[in-house]
Amino acid sequence: MAELLSIHVNSQMLELESSSLVALFEYLGQPTRGVAVAVNENVVHRKQWSEFKLQNGDQVLLFESIAGG
């Protein structure tokens, strides 16, 4: 069995089987419209989401669009 990855996502610790960012969104049930993601304080461009590989210990921040002035 592949090693689990320990990832922090918005201050929640998660154990993931896959290193794929896209798989993470699916796991969270997170729709991707209006959403942005940063890994270790670097914004990951949308075009790179499908290729991006998470690593053990990564700090992931997920942001969404909300109401504001």
According to CB under 8 A, which one of 40, 43, 55, 59 is a site residue for other proteins? Answer: 43
Per-residue tokens: 26: 């699916």
Q: Which is closer to other proteins, CB of 5 or CB of 37? A: 37
Q: Assess 22 for contact with other proteins (CB under 8 A).
A: no
- Residue matched to tokens 């610790």: 13
According to CB under 8 A, which one of 28, 40, 53, 59 is a site residue for other proteins? Answer: 28
Q: Assess 10 for contact with other proteins (CB under 8 A).
A: yes
Per-residue tokens: 9: 């996502």
Answer whether 10's CB lies under 8 Å from 25's CB: no
Polymer length in residues for the chain: 69
